[in-house]
Structure 1
Amino acid sequence: MKTRLRHFMELASANIWMVPSLFLIASVLIAFLNFYLDKTLFAQHVQFPKLFLYFNNSENIRTLLSVSASSILGVAGVSFSITIASLTLASQQFGSRLLRNFMMDRFNQLVLGVFIGTFLYCIMMLQFTSSMDLEKTTPLISMIGLLILIVTNLLMLVFFIHHTAVSIQAESVIADVNGSLQSQLNTFFPDKYTETEHLPESVTEHADDPFEGIDNYIYTKQSGYLQAIDMESLIAWVSDEDISLKLTVKPGDFLIKHSLIGVCLISDEQKEDFKKTISDPVNDRFLIGAKGTASQDPEFAVRQLVEVAVRALSPGINDPFTAITCIDRLGDNIAFLIDREFPSDQHFDEEGRLRLQTKPFTFEGIVEVSFNQIRQHGRADVSVTIRLLETMYCLTQQVRSQAQAEAIGVQVNAIYSACDENFKATKDRDDIETLYQKITALLEERFSKG
């Protein structure tokens, strides 16, 4: 249930209408509250100082409300136009999948919410003040609230223009995606040796695969991106049913209808109605949608950075500086993962029996997702190739295990092998050769197999 609720909240936060909708509701409540206070506190026309005489005239008040409503609606229209223009620009330069980040921008949602909320507040007050003379009410609190809203709207407009101009810059887009990536990595990969002592020891280190040779296959009922798995519910269910389950897919994978998603250990009695008792409950705990999400996929933001880099390397844009910035950010996050604990792919019940084995995220897999496409699309650019090797050299200095060294070594060899066919200048080849020799020598020195 918690997984589904978090998943719903993430999908809702990606919609630009969520915060403005809350502001519309709030504006109605505030309008009712202010007018109620005015009727309670100022039930009769009160003799105010000359500064407040304006609020005693119903015509003046209605004029102010009408002008404010029409003006704010015009400003809201301009803001919507600026937002759409920035989204179009971002889609062309950075890719349509990054529109999700712009739509989730809380400041943009806040500005639009304030504008349309103020408009609705004015409309509500126009209805209330129509009986002002009859009830002899002075809407002092309501009008002071309107003036505060107008000043707030003017300030918001200035900040919104500045924010939009900054947010569509390549550095800001990359920094925003990188911030999301770092937050995800902190969530998915705990600090080694401090947050994983409670986990049971992995049985695959000292036992054969218990699922080998099992043909109780589970297939997906629909196609789409696997957005999340309700792990808590799934583990509780397999424990109650006294079965063991191995998943062959992970969040972020695209599932083709009727494709394999898992295999399970079950009794002969449970095989009689396998589809209803096993396959359907497993499918019900898979959240599948038309697009990927970041809720359980740490590679989601990695792919966003890679997309920015690949688009920057396209002939139509040809911006290696943006690609190099993405490489720097990706290298920094890979270095972060070196000292992090990757979650166990095995889940046990209270008696220590293996109940669920998942398809894990690995260091090698994240390295490949980070650099494969950039390497392939940037193989003809000297500066990108050199920066890739420089990043690999920095990572080589920090790797802690043979598996990590091998993952870096695969990328280094793939980068170097493309140089023979693309770079003819002696200076470029010498720089690349020097970096390659330094990396291979360091890898051999630290992780010699001899």
Structure 2
Amino acid sequence: MAAKGPLRGISQYVIHRLVANYWSLPLIAVFGAPLLGAAVLWTDRAFAGEWLFERGVTLLVAGDAAQDLAIAIVGVNAALLTLYWSVTLIVLTLATANLGVRLVDRWLDKVLTRVSVAGLTFCLVFSIVVLSRIDPEASLAELPHFALAVLFALELVNIAMLGVAIHDLGRTMFVDRSIAHLGTEASSIAIPVVAAEPFAGEWRFALPAPREGYVEGMDLERLRKRLATHEGQVRFCAAPGQHVLKGEPLVQFEYEPRKTKPVLRTVAIGDFRSSVQSTVYQVRLLVEVASRALSPGINDFYTALACADQLAAAMAGHAQTWVDDGLVAVYEHDPRFELPGQDFRGLFEGPLKAFRQAAADYPSVSIRIIENLARLRTLLAEQGCPGALLQFFQTCAAEMHAHARANAEHDSDRADIDRAFDKCLLAVAGEA
């Protein structure tokens, strides 16, 4: 199955590339259908067909009727496969035009999508195999009753599954559903980190990136076992989702490791951004969807409001990953591993600025962002979160207020923005 979280090294990256696509399951179905068809026909000829016929369990009254039934099922399967592909292209085109191609990547990752295509393909090939073994001039007793019964049962399942798949495909166009899923996934912590003093010594060895691309993920647990006897600190220079150039420092060591290949195998580098980069990708995708929704060609501020709410939920889920200035994030299960850029600030500071820039011309969205930041500050203050994190929210709210107020064209909009920020200030005063 396609990976649902950060990739754990090269092996998971290869497996993900093999299965997280349109062609892998249909290809298996194409090659598996003739084999299963042959097995069903053999079972039919060996005993199953005769057993059904003797008990009067048959759908047919003549050989030509069997052929007509098989031909009809082949035609229906071909039509269903064509229909699903056609509707798929329409939905993907709409998604690409409106809210970004990266939502398409998420849709392709869905199990139901790939299973639907594979099931339609399998049934088409299986029905052709059964049709090829039907003799219209054969007697009723010689017909493959078991194979035809299996074919008919598969067709019923196929039609039912198509209804489910079309329903799911239609709901895919309802972008709020994808936004809600993104917010839920982004709220989970992919790599647990804690704050620690940064290494003050010299990094004596740097392992360069073997290729250009985006860091897909890192298998820190596997590397921890591989470096169990290795002394000294280890610094991962590039966080998941970050772009690296060939030859750039990827991992730094206090002491040179005996072997570097095991280290490289734990860091997967891909050609493009994808959902397997986990939280960093999901957070940025929320901002991208909101930004595109606020573009003049779409102008859908309700979608942007939904993204703002889910981004707030994601930040609440990552409050424990905050690292104060002067400290560095380290892997919770092995403090030797420094992970700069994989703390709260590294995940959310850039996306929040991008969201502010996109929302500054929309007072309603700007006000929602300010209100959400105030709610976050109040909630996390009650939970005893660090003061620096609360101040981070206050700073972001102040920047949003200043930017939105400067761009507002009407006095009433500026007054609304001021009132939202005043509530934020009152929340701060209440904490004091």
Verify: 1:308 aligned to 2:304, yes or no.
Answer: no
Residue type matched to 2:39 in 1?
L
Q: Is the 8 A contact 1:189 1:341 kept in 2?
A: no
CA offset at residue 17 of structure 1?
2.5
Bigger shift: residues 129-138 or 144-153: 129-138
Residues 234-261 of structure 1 show CA distances to partners (whole Å, capped at 9, x for unaligned) of 3334344444322221111100122222
Q: Structure 1's 253 and 28: CA in aligned 2 closer, same or farther, altered over 3 A?
A: same
CA offset at residue 177 of structure 1?
2.7
Aligned to 1:361: 342
Q: Secondary structure at the match of 1:315?
A: coil
- When normalised by structure 1's length, the TM-score is 0.82
Q: Secondary structure at the match of 2:38?
A: helix
Aligned ranges 1:287-326 → 2 under 5 Å: 287-295=268-276, 297-326=278-307
CA distance in 1, matches of 2:119, 2:262: 44
Q: Is the 8 A contact 2:63 2:139 kept in 1?
A: no
Residues 8-59 of structure 1 show CA distances to partners (whole Å, capped at 9, x for unaligned) of 444344212233334445533442333233223245994665x83726x333
CA distance in 2, matches of 1:232, 1:189: 11
Q: Is the 8 A contact 1:45 1:136 kept in 2?
A: no
Verify: 1:178 aligned to 2:183, yes or no.
Answer: yes
Q: Structure 1's 11 and 257: CA in aligned 2 closer, same or farther, altered over 3 A?
A: same
Q: Structure 1's 13 and 391: CA in aligned 2 closer, same or farther, altered over 3 A?
A: farther
Aligned to 1:14: 20
Unaligned runs of 5+ in 2: 1-6
CA distance in 1, matches of 2:195, 2:180: 37
CA offset at residue 120 of structure 1?
0.9
Verify: 1:221 aligned to 2:205, yes or no.
Answer: no
Aligned to 2:92: 87
Aligned ranges 1:80-159 → 2 under 5 Å: 80-130=85-135, 133=138, 137-159=142-164
Q: Secondary structure at the match of 2:215?
A: strand
Q: Is the 8 A contact 2:287 2:354 kept in 1?
A: yes
CA distance in 1, matches of 2:235, 2:59: 76
Q: Secondary structure at the match of 1:246?
A: strand
Unaligned runs of 5+ in 1: 191-200
Match of 2:173 among 168, 171, 187: 168
Residue type matched to 2:305 in 1?
I
RMSD, aligned CA? 3.2
May I ask how many residue pairs the two structures share in their alignment?
417
Identity of paired residues, percent?
20
CA offset at residue 157 of structure 1?
3.3
State the structure with bigger RCO (CA 8 A, min sep 6), 1 or 2: 2
Q: Secondary structure at the match of 1:418?
A: helix
Match of 1:431 among 393, 416, 420: 416
CA offset at residue 217 of structure 1?
3.3
Q: Structure 1's 87 and 339: CA in aligned 2 closer, same or farther, altered over 3 A?
A: same
Q: Structure 1's 257 and 45: CA in aligned 2 closer, same or farther, altered over 3 A?
A: closer
CA offset at residue 86 of structure 1?
1.0
Q: Secondary structure at the match of 2:22?
A: coil
CA offset at residue 444 of structure 1?
4.8
Residues 135-154 of structure 1 show CA distances to partners (whole Å, capped at 9, x for unaligned) of 96332221112222222233
CA offset at residue 169 of structure 1?
1.8
CA offset at residue 382 of structure 1?
1.0
Q: Which runs of 4+ in 1 moved over 6 A?
A: 340-343
Residues 246-300 of structure 1 show CA distances to partners (whole Å, capped at 9, x for unaligned) of 222111110012222233222xxx6xxx9xx566654443211101344454211
Q: Is the 8 A contact 1:217 1:260 kept in 2?
A: yes
Match of 1:36 among 39, 42, 57: 42
CA distance in 2, matches of 1:142, 1:179: 45
Q: Structure 1's 142 and 91: CA in aligned 2 closer, same or farther, altered over 3 A?
A: same
Residues 80-129 of structure 1 show CA distances to partners (whole Å, capped at 9, x for unaligned) of 11111211111111111221111122222222222211111111112333
- When normalised by structure 2's length, the TM-score is 0.85
Q: Secondary structure at the match of 1:59?
A: helix
Verify: 1:330 aligned to 2:330, yes or no.
Answer: no
Q: Structure 1's 314 and 54: CA in aligned 2 closer, same or farther, altered over 3 A?
A: same
Aligned to 1:198: none
Aligned to 1:194: none
Verify: 1:235 aligned to 2:220, yes or no.
Answer: no
Aligned ranges 1:242-391 → 2 under 5 Å: 242-266=231-255, 282-295=263-276, 297-338=278-319, 345-346=330-331, 355-391=336-372
CA distance in 1, matches of 2:254, 2:412: 60
Residue type matched to 1:435 in 2?
A
Q: Secondary structure at the match of 2:295?
A: coil
Q: Structure 1's 43 and 3: CA in aligned 2 closer, same or farther, altered over 3 A?
A: same
Aligned to 2:3: none
Q: Is the 8 A contact 1:90 1:99 kept in 2?
A: yes
Q: Structure 1's 230 and 289: CA in aligned 2 closer, same or farther, altered over 3 A?
A: same
Bigger shift: residues 409-418 or 209-218: 209-218
CA distance in 2, matches of 1:104, 1:407: 35
Q: Is the 8 A contact 1:338 1:398 kept in 2?
A: no
Bigger shift: residues 39-48 or 220-229: 39-48
CA offset at residue 375 of structure 1?
0.9
Aligned to 1:193: none
Q: Structure 1's 396 and 356: CA in aligned 2 closer, same or farther, altered over 3 A?
A: closer
Q: Structure 1's 45 and 423: CA in aligned 2 closer, same or farther, altered over 3 A?
A: closer
CA distance in 2, matches of 1:170, 1:294: 17
CA offset at residue 432 of structure 1?
1.6
Residue type matched to 1:256 in 2?
L
CA distance in 1, matches of 2:59, 2:273: 59
